Chain A
Amino acid sequence: MAKYKDVEMPGDLYYFNTDNHVWAKIEEDNKVRCGIDQFGQKAAGTMAYVKFKPPGGKTIKGRPMGTVEAGKYIGPVRAPVNGTILEINQEVRDDPTLINKDSYGKGWIALIEPDNLEEDFKDLIHGEENVQAFLEADYKKYEEEGLFAEEEDK
């Protein structure tokens, strides 16, 4: 588990380095479950509203598969892979704060059938050391520039 200050990022997950830090996990039959990581939710603030493409919708890596509105952020959630959405987490639709409360568990967003998992996962950040370095670098940058939602609140 990579950890820096109050943010934890499990090293066994894959991270898509975008504006809102998407995590991805390979599940059985090579399906990909994804969500916003703890760092992303800290930067965005308390999630208020979410909207995601419905099951059956196509995802393109790097392009939005949904939109979130949090205390200090309105923006897209980018898909970590090309593919087709199989399932959307209804609990998160009803209570978006699950993303804040349990980013890697109940706060997952979508289950995707990837088109080319191997190719798409090549540039995702993975492994304890890499994730730790990624987390620390981004954390320091956000702290310096006052980009965390909590920082702005003070």
Chain B
Amino acid sequence: MIGEYPLFDSFCAAVFMVGTFIFTLGLINNLFVYTKGSGKGLGQAIKEGAKVIFSRKIGQVMYAVFESIFHPRLLKEDFLRWLAMVSIIISYVGIILVNHIKAAGMPELDKISNLSLFFYSPFCDIYFLRTVTEASFNTIQAVYAFLNDGFGFFILVVGEGILIWRRFFKRAHIFRMKWVDIFIVVALGGWFALRFLAEAVTILAFNVPDSIASNWFVAYGISKVISPLGLYWPDFYIITWSLSGIALATLFASIPFHRKLWHIISAPLSMVVNSLSEKKHVFSKPEDETAFTTRQLIEIDACVQCGICAEHCVTYQQHQDEHIVPGDLIAAYGQKLRQKYGFFSSLIGRDPPAKIDQERFAKQLYTCTLCGRCREVCPVKIDTRDIRISMREDAVRENFAPSAVHMAVEATKEERNVLKYPNYDRIMWAEFLDDVPESAYLNKDKAEIIYFVGCMTSFSPAISTIAESNLRLLYLAGEDFALLGEEESCCGFPLIVGGASQDWQWLRAKNVERIKKMQAKKMIFNCASCYHTYTHEYKELLPEVEMFHSIEYLHHLVTKGKLKFKEFKAKVTYHDPCDLGRGCGIFEQPREVIKAIPGIEFVEMPKNRKLGTCCGGGGDMEMVNADLVNEVAATLVGEIEKTGADIVISGCGQCKRMIMNAIKAKKAKVKVLDTTELMLEAGIEFEAKD
């Protein structure tokens, strides 16, 4: 068909075609996982996808595409890894485009269809180098040759070079190396190495003049190195191009079958889908196939186990157990989901994972504080916190969650709190208040503001002083407020993060009913987790109620000039609670409130705001591994000590409790206070209420 080697020319394209066919089967397999795994049919998934893609969010989509190519988060983390990643992405995209444009313009290939052209395009240099003459060679072809070898050089030398150096020499990877990692490195670079070799052999076999061949600068260099071997190059011409074809077909065919290769497609897809999705957890229902949404199933496949999540993980830092970090769990879950919902599994059938795996999963799943720092640093923006909650839901649904979760569910049924503390004594802490009359906050039928105290603040003797200070502040500010008292129920947070997706809604209904009955217009929270739950899960049922964390309330008073401060000399730092900072975006208000007090020297923690270190007290980890919680808290106190602060302020009772414990254990010379406690300690005075 084309030139003097028609059978051979078609062989390379045919091999690539077979690879593409296998790729297509793998693609179907993965689409099965995304649709069947979320309980949606393919039609429904496509319809929903189209609805999102054609929504008016093109700017977000474009930015997500930009991020999926240039990975700004990875650049912040590690320049070399970023360089490797970006070199590979840009070079692969570049070489595909260059080859296709070149092939489309070649007269030798103008008789074949556009579809066939796709299969011939990676091998267009076979024909080009064979037929080119000095007379026919022009500048455009020279640019093509330069780009072709330039992109290949970047992939092989820069991208692959850095990957190989990190993986095999520096051994910088968190996760243990598997055979598939070696395969990926070889597959990604191997086809280019063989292609360069084939080009070099072609230059020798067809005596391409130096003035032309030198434009393929890598192949030309190789030809100069191998030329002295004096082999019969036309024979090797066929062998090397064939091997290059087989290598490309193998790489292409493998892409959908291993998550680390499939990531090439799933990562950009996941980033685009994520940019368009509402950032809200979707609770699974009993009738759902799994606890995951289609978005999450794509995210699970987008993880390439880069290990950056582990580098920022407070629990991993304690014992370097790779099995507890998102990268490892997601890989294990991805495998499980493919086994269960893939196209091939539906044809041939697979056994569900063994019981021992489930127990291992459960232990790993709950060794996490759900602090969400991994979500902030993940280069492909996987919502790791949300996925772990869904994994926990899966564990509860399949009945292999730790017994502590079931005990918590049972405790709420009995006492409307997970501690099984007698709920009728929820406000025992208020008995220690001798400066606020009970009538100011209890037994009211109506109130403008409801102060929602939360379980830990109500029950823990370590932190119930926070409830006292919040209540005093509201009283001193002259607000019309009330407590829900024994009518207050757990907000549901420990059950939500524990994966008990069906067991917390009744608590919400109880709280909402009471709040509505009291006709409250505002709610104030001192607990970051309660505030997170209310603003994320209650708001739609209480649209008329404004919700404030006590820090926001104080900030409002400060900015309106309602507070008078006395001088308070102290060096103070602020700990960002995960559910308040990363979870609700409240970073600056607490700092502004603290800095408003004259005499305070404010210092930042080494890691703050979105990268702030967790106290260890979140995500129900205390229920399953209290010792690890203490270790995480000790790390945080170490960071606090480095600031030299006399006082650390937190916006969460549970954080204060954890920090108190660690301070006590380490005998550290620092004091921890809630923001409201600092205000009272600093001696504020209120302007008269309007």
- Chain B residue at minimal CB-CB distance from A45: B626
Q: Are A75 and B419 closer than 8 Å at their CB atoms? A: yes
Q: How far is the CA of A72 from the CA of B425 in the complex (A)?
A: 20
Q: Given A72-B626, A74-B460, do A64 and B422 touch, yes or no (CB 8 Å)?
A: yes
A57 within 8 A of B: yes
Q: CB-CB < 8 A to B420: which residues of A?
A: 75
Quick one: which of B406-441 are within 8 Å of A by CB? 419-422, 424-425, 428-429, 431-432
Looking at the complex, which one of B422, B431, B664 makes contact with A57 (CB distance below 8 Å)?
B431
Looking at the complex, which one of B425, B429, B432, B661 makes contact with A48 (CB distance below 8 Å)?
B661
- Chain A residue at minimal CB-CB distance from B664: A48
Q: CB-CB < 8 A to A71: which residues of B?
A: 626
A54 within 8 A of B: yes
Q: How many residues of A contact B (CB 8 A)?
A: 19
Q: Are B422 and A50 closer than 8 Å at their CB atoms? A: no
Q: How far is the CA of A49 from the CA of B653 in the complex (A)?
A: 14
Q: CB-CB < 8 A to A49: which residues of B?
A: 460-462
* Binary interface encoding of chain A residues 13-56 relative to chain B, with 1 for a CB under 8 A from any of its CBs, else 0: 00000000000000000000000000000000000111101100
How far does the Cβ of B665 sit from chain A's closest Cβ, in whole Å?
10
7 nearest A-B pairs in the assembled complex, by CB-CB distance? A51-B461, A49-B462, A49-B461, A67-B461, A64-B425, A69-B461, A74-B419
Q: CB-CB < 8 A to B428: which residues of A?
A: 53, 64, 67, 76
Q: How far is the CA of A153 from the CA of B630 in the complex (A)?
A: 13
Q: How far is the CA of A53 from the CA of B460 in the complex (A)?
A: 14
Quick one: which of A66-85 are within 8 Å of B by CB? 66-69, 71-72, 74-76
* Binary interface encoding of chain B residues 430-462 relative to chain A, with 1 for a CB under 8 A from any of its CBs, else 0: 011000000000000000000000000001111
B464 within 8 A of A: yes
Q: Are B421 and A69 closer than 8 Å at their CB atoms? A: no
A140 within 8 A of B: no
In addition to A53-B432, A75-B421, 18 A-B residue pairs with Cβ atoms within 8 Å of each other are A48-B661, A49-B462, A50-B461, A51-B461, A54-B432, A63-B425, A64-B428, A67-B460, A67-B464, A68-B461, A69-B460, A69-B461, A69-B462, A72-B626, A74-B421, A75-B419, A76-B421, A153-B627
Q: CB-CB < 8 A to B626: which residues of A?
A: 71-72
* Binary interface encoding of chain A residues 75-99 relative to chain B, with 1 for a CB under 8 A from any of its CBs, else 0: 1100000000000000000000000
Name A's interface SS. Answer: strand
Q: CB-CB < 8 A to B422: which residues of A?
A: 63-64, 76
Q: Are B421 and A51 closer than 8 Å at their CB atoms? A: no
- Chain A residue at minimal CB-CB distance from B425: A64
How far does the Cβ of B61 sit from chain A's closest Cβ, in whole Å?
48
Q: How far is the CA of A68 from the CA of B421 in the complex (A)?
A: 11
Place the interface of chain B in its size category: 10 to 19
- Chain A residue at minimal CB-CB distance from B432: A54
Q: Please list 29 pairs of residues, one from A and one from B, whose beta carbons are closer than 8 Å in the complex, sorted by A's number.
A: A48-B462, A49-B461, A49-B462, A50-B461, A51-B429, A51-B432, A51-B461, A51-B464, A53-B428, A53-B432, A54-B431, A57-B431, A63-B424, A64-B422, A66-B461, A67-B428, A67-B459, A67-B461, A68-B461, A69-B460, A74-B421, A74-B459, A74-B460, A75-B419, A75-B421, A76-B421, A76-B425, A76-B428, A153-B627
* Binary interface encoding of chain B residues 558-573 relative to chain A, with 1 for a CB under 8 A from any of its CBs, else 0: 0000000000000000
Among A48, A66, A71, A153, residue most surrounded by chain B Cβ atoms (within 10 Å): A48
Q: CB-CB < 8 A to A48: which residues of B?
A: 462, 661, 664
Q: How far is the CA of A53 from the CA of B429 in the complex (A)?
A: 9
Q: CB-CB < 8 A to A68: which residues of B?
A: 461
Q: How far is the CA of A74 from the CA of B617 in the complex (A)?
A: 14
Q: How far is the CA of A75 from the CA of B420 in the complex (A)?
A: 8
- Chain B residue at minimal CB-CB distance from A50: B461
Q: CB-CB < 8 A to A66: which residues of B?
A: 461
* Binary interface encoding of chain B residues 619-648 relative to chain A, with 1 for a CB under 8 A from any of its CBs, else 0: 000000011000000000000000000000
* Binary interface encoding of chain B residues 222-249 relative to chain A, with 1 for a CB under 8 A from any of its CBs, else 0: 0000000000000000000000000000
How far does the Cβ of A72 sit from chain B's closest Cβ, in whole Å?
7
- Chain B residue at minimal CB-CB distance from A62: B422
- Chain A residue at minimal CB-CB distance from B665: A48
- Chain A residue at minimal CB-CB distance from B627: A153
Q: CB-CB < 8 A to A53: which residues of B?
A: 428, 431-432
- Chain B residue at minimal CB-CB distance from A146: B403
Q: CB-CB < 8 A to B464: which residues of A?
A: 51, 67
How far does the Cβ of A73 sit from chain B's closest Cβ, in whole Å?
9
Q: How far is the CA of A54 from the CA of B433 in the complex (A)?
A: 10
Q: CB-CB < 8 A to A67: which residues of B?
A: 428, 459-461, 464
- Chain A residue at minimal CB-CB distance from B419: A74
Quick one: which of A95-110 are within 8 Å of B by CB? none
How far does the Cβ of A66 sit from chain B's closest Cβ, in whole Å?
8
How far does the Cβ of A80 sit from chain B's closest Cβ, in whole Å?
16
- Chain A residue at minimal CB-CB distance from B428: A64
Q: CB-CB < 8 A to B432: which residues of A?
A: 51, 53-54
Among B431, B464, B627, residue most surrounded by chain A Cβ atoms (within 10 Å): B431
- Chain A residue at minimal CB-CB distance from B421: A75
Q: CB-CB < 8 A to A50: which residues of B?
A: 461
